[in-house]
Structure 1
Amino acid sequence: MFRFLVPLLGAALISQSVCAQVMERSLGDFALKLGTTPTRSMAQGLVTPSNGAGSFHGGLDLTHESGVYFGQWSPNLGLAPDTTAELDSYLGFKKPFDQTLGYEVGVIRYSYPDTAQVASNELYAGLRILDSRLGAAFSNDTGTTNSTLFVDLGSIEQLGMNVRMQYATHRFDTLQSADDGSMIGGFNDWSLKLSRPWLGIDMNLIYSDSSLSGDSCNLYSGHNPRCEQTLTIKAVRALF
C-alpha cells in the first residue's frame, strides 16, 4: 500500500527550488501532514534528503492520538530526467513521559521501485529531553552493516540557531578494494548542521566529511552527499 501513497499527493509535491511546505489536517483520531519536507521528528534525521534542485519530492505522515504513527517520504519521485524513484516508509510509536522527557521507536523501509536495488530496513530509537533529541539507528544493507548516532540540540539561545550533529559507522561484510588498491573493511562519516531563520528565509550551514578520501571514495555509500570534506550553504524561503 505504501508504494502508491506518495504519487497521490499531487499539489503537495514540488521541486526543492520552490520551497518546503507542510499542510496539516485532522482526520478523526489521526493528524495528517502532507509536505515537501520530512515532518516526523525522529525519522526526519534518517530518511534520505532530497537530491537538490529539480527533484520532485514529498510525503505524508499520519499520527494517532495514542502515539502510533506511520508515513512515507519520497526524496525523489523519479519524474525528472536521469532520476530514479525512492520511497522511505516508516512505522513507529512516540510517547512523552512528561513535558520534559519522552521516547520514540520505529522502523524505516527504504525501497527503490524503478531499479533492481534491494530494499533495506532500519530500526531507530530516540530520547527527547526538553527541546533536544538523542537518537540511534541500525540497519543491514546488502553487504554492509550501518550504525548511526545523532544529536539534535534544538534551538540554542546563546548561538541564535539550531544545532544538529550526526556520526555513522559502515562495516562491509567482506574487505572491499578501493581504486588505489588498498583493502578497506569499512568507513565512518559525520556531519554538523547549523540553521536559523532570517528575514523569512531558513538559512542552513552544513559541514560533512568521512574517513575515506581520494581514490578510496569509490567505496563511499554513507549519509553525506559527498565522500570528502564539504561545506554547504542552503537557503529556503516559503512562498506561502
Structure 2
Amino acid sequence: MMMKKLALAIVGASTVGLSSIAAAEEFPTSLGTFDVSMTATFATDYIWRGQSQTDGTGAIQGSLDIAHESGVYIGTWASNVDSAAFAGSSVEIDYYVGYAGNITDDIGYDLSWNRYTYPKANELTSDEVIGTLSAYGFTLGTKYAYDPDSKLYTWIGYDYALPQDFGLHFSYGRTDTKDPIDATGSNAKYDDWMVGVSKNFIGLDFLLAYTDTDIKGGTCEAWYGDKDNCNSNVTLSVSKSF
C-alpha cells in the first residue's frame, strides 16, 4: 500500500511529495491487523500532472490511511488550492478506498476508487478509478474519471533506490479528456513529465522535483486564468510521517 501511494504522489494523483512513505502503526484486532499512518507535507507548490494547483505558491498537505492485512485500505488526503482557479474553494479534500497486493515479491498491483471534493465548489467534485501494476521499480498506471466528465490518464514511472537513503524518481503521463478546456473548444490531449531526487534525513522525507507539460500558454490561461500555471516547475517538499 505504501509503495502504491508513493507512485501516486509523485506522478500527481494528489501532489509532488513523499507523503506516500508513511510509518504505519499496527493494531491487532479480532478482525485482523490494521495499519494506521498519518503524514504531513509542506511543499513550495502543489503540482498535479505538471500543473500548479496553488498558483505557484506553497502548499500544506496531510493524509490519514488505514489498511487491513487483507490488502483493503481507506484514506483521506487534503491540501490548500488556489481559490480563484477552483470556483472560490481554497481546500481540496480527497477520499479513497482500494485493494492492493503482491503477485510475487517484485510484482504488485493496486485498484482504488477516489473522490475529489472542493468545499464551496461542489460542482467540481469528481470520481476516478485508478489501477496500477508495479514491477522491478517500474509502475504502469491508469486513471479513469467517469464523473462528471470522461477523462483518461495513463502514466509510467520508475523509482530507483540509491545509497545513503537517496532515491531517483521518473514519470511520464498523458491526459486525454473530452472536455473543451481551451478557447477553441478542442479536446485536450497533453503530456507531463517529472524527474525527482528524494532523501530521508533526520526523520524527514525530502523531494526535489522538476515537472513540466507540453500544454500551450493559451490553453493553460483559458483553463486556469493564468498561462504560467502550466510552465515548468522546480518544487521542494518535506514530509513527516507519524
TM-score, structure 1 length as denominator?
A: 0.68
The answer for the alignment partner of 1:61 in structure 2 is: 65
The answer for the alignment partner of 1:192 in structure 2 is: 194
Give the unaligned 5+ runs of structure 2: 1-17, 42-47, 83-87
| Alignment map for 1:76-155 (pairs within 5 Å) | 76=80, 84-142=90-148, 144-155=149-160
The answer for the alignment partner of 1:3 in structure 2 is: none
User: Structure 2 vs 1, CA of residues 53 and 34 (structure 1 numbering), >3 Å: closer, same or farther?
Assistant: farther
Of stretches 60-69 and 113-122 in structure 1, the one that deviates more from structure 2 is 113-122
Task: Provide the rounded CA distance (Å) in 2 between the counterparts of 1:193 and 1:95.
Answer: 27
The answer for the alignment partner of 2:218 in structure 1 is: 215
Deviation by residue 1:166-187 (Cα, 9 ceiling, x = unmatched):
31223235x5651xxx342223
Give the unaligned 5+ runs of structure 1: 1-18, 38-44
Task: Provide the rounded CA distance (Å) in 1 between the counterparts of 2:126 and 2:188.
Answer: 18
Deviation by residue 1:39-69 (Cα, 9 ceiling, x = unmatched):
xxxxxx98x9984765442120001000101
More helix by share: 2
Question: RCO greater where, 1 or 2, for CA within 8 Å and sep 6 or more?
Answer: 2
Task: Provide the rounded CA distance (Å) in 2 between the counterparts of 1:194 and 1:150.
Answer: 16
Task: Provide the rounded CA distance (Å) in 1 between the counterparts of 2:241 and 2:100.
Answer: 31
Task: Provide the rounded CA distance (Å) in 1 between the counterparts of 2:182 and 2:105.
Answer: 50
| Alignment map for 1:14-93 (pairs within 5 Å) | 22=22, 24-28=24-28, 29-37=33-41, 51=54, 55-76=59-80, 84-93=90-99
Residue 215 of structure 1 aligns to a residue in which SS? helix
Q: Which amino acid aligns with 1:63?
A: A
Shift of 1:207: 2.5
CA-based RMSD = 3.7
Residue 61 of structure 2 aligns to a residue in which SS? strand
Deviation by residue 1:176-220 (Cα, 9 ceiling, x = unmatched):
651xxx34222313121221328667241313113x323332343
Instruction: Indicate the structure (1 or 2) with the bigger Cα radius of gyration.
Output: 1
Identity of aligned residues (%): 20
Task: Provide the rounded CA distance (Å) in 2 between the counterparts of 1:107 and 1:66.
Answer: 17
